[in-house]
Amino acid sequence: MPFVKIDTGILRSTLWFDRTQRDVFLSALFMAELHELREDTPQLGVDIPEPTGWMVPAGWYGFVQAAGVGIAHVAQVTWPEAILALRAMGDPELDSRSQAFEGRRLVRINGGYMVLNYMKYRDRDYTAAERQMRYRARKRLLSSDVTQSHTVSPLPLRDPVTPNVTEAVIVTDSRVQSTEYISEVRTLPNGRESPSVLVLAWNALTRAPIPRCVALSKTRATHATARLQEQDSTYWKTVIERIQASDFCRGENDRSWVATFDWLVANDENAIKVLEGKYDNRLAFTRPTGRTAGNKAALDEALRAIHEASHDGP
């Protein structure tokens, strides 16, 4: 199925302020398929299929294999309205923001209509640089020995302090069991560790039901930076490992509370409590009841008899 991106700049174009032209053009844009003209091709009139004298240059365009009435049907406008719109978009427009093709947008040729600026919409991509960075990061991970049985997280983390850096976390599955992680940049220009290091460590060293940190907001970055100023990442890895080992922090408590990344970084005292063992697993003690209570009474009686016998003479 064809795919085309819409540039929000269309909101400022002269096309947007004429409802019929806008509906007809967008309908044609969505109906178009990528097509190459191998030679210059004459433009035809909308209602009279005779050459207008202008030639569509050879190149790549969006081709709508439909008559004008078909485009009008998709746009849900009347044919008389469509004729006026198609004529206007096939004529030169001096006020157009783009003077490519002298302002023409949609012209009729033999067999259908040609969207002249189709490639501008199709190729416009503001995320190409980021996607290339993510692609290269995945290739590096997949080519290394450490990723033989791993997949790369589809949610790369963007550090608000260094926004042009993409970092990836290696995970084995949805439970995030791996303890290996990678970061392209670990330090900031001032020599301190990037706050995203804590996010990477958290996602690598914890697993469900402890939730992952999927985004590093400004608030989280501020808290994480403050924590890294107090202790380095080695300290925090130890804290996170203790959290993962704690049944209480994993939600096995009467409040169904689960430790989160925000809980860790928002208050420096939480890490101290973790290291002091407040959340460590403990043996469960229960009061004897039922048969257990009867057995304890029998044991006490036996111990009393043994004690009395040990004090009797031969």
pLDDT score at 157: 43
**Does one domain contain both 90 and 202?**
no
**Does one domain contain both 22 and 155?**
no
**Does one domain contain both 23 and 59?**
yes
Residue length of the chain: 314
Distances 119 to 62, 96, 107, 114, 126 between C-alpha atoms, Å? 7, 17, 15, 11, 15
**Does one domain contain both 92 and 193?**
no
Q: Is the pLDDT confidence value at 162 over 50? A: no
Q: Which structure tokens are listed for 9?
A: 């700049």
**Does one domain contain both 119 and 132?**
no
Question: Domain total for the chain?
Answer: 2
pLDDT score at 176: 34
**Does one domain contain both 218 and 233?**
yes
**Does the residue 96 lie in any domain?**
yes
* Region of poorest pLDDT, from 1-10, 72-81, 156-165, 192-201: 156-165
pLDDT score at 82: 92
Last residue of a domain, one of 92, 123, 154: 123
**Does one domain contain both 91 and 116?**
yes
Task: For residue 130, give the nearest of 101, 164, 92 by alpha carbon.
Answer: 164
Residue range of the domain that includes 164 = 128-275
**Does one domain contain both 135 and 151?**
yes
- Give the amino acid at 10: I
Task: For residue 95, give the nearest of 177, 182, 15 by alpha carbon.
Answer: 15
Q: For the segment 83-121, what is each residue's pLDDT rounded down to a tens digit?
A: 999 999 999 877 666 667 888 989 999 999 999 988 876
C-alpha span between 276 and 238 (Å, rounded): 12
**Does one domain contain both 74 and 170?**
no
pLDDT score at 10: 75
Last residue of a domain, one of 123, 142, 177: 123
β partners of residue 109: 112
For all residues of the chain together, what is the average pLDDT?
75
20 or 306, higher pLDDT: 20
CB 155 within 8 A of CB 214: yes
Banded pLDDT at 140 (limits 50, 70, 90): low
Q: What is the DSSP letter of 62?
A: E
Last residue of a domain, one of 106, 123, 140: 123
**Does the residue 258 lie in any domain?**
yes
**Does the residue 102 lie in any domain?**
yes
* Mean pLDDT computed over 63-75: 92
β partners of residue 193: 187
Q: Is the pLDDT confidence value at 71 over 90? A: yes
Tell whether omega for the bond before 51 is within 30 degrees of 0, i.e. cis.
Answer: no
Distances 87 to 22, 84, 161, 182 between C-alpha atoms, Å? 13, 5, 52, 58
Show Cβ contacts of residue 34 under 8 Å, excluding neighbours closer than 6 positions.
2, 60, 61, 62, 63, 118, 122
**Does one domain contain both 94 and 160?**
no
**Does one domain contain both 242 and 269?**
yes
Q: Which structure tokens are listed for 103?
A: 């302002």
pTM for the complete prediction?
Answer: 0.39
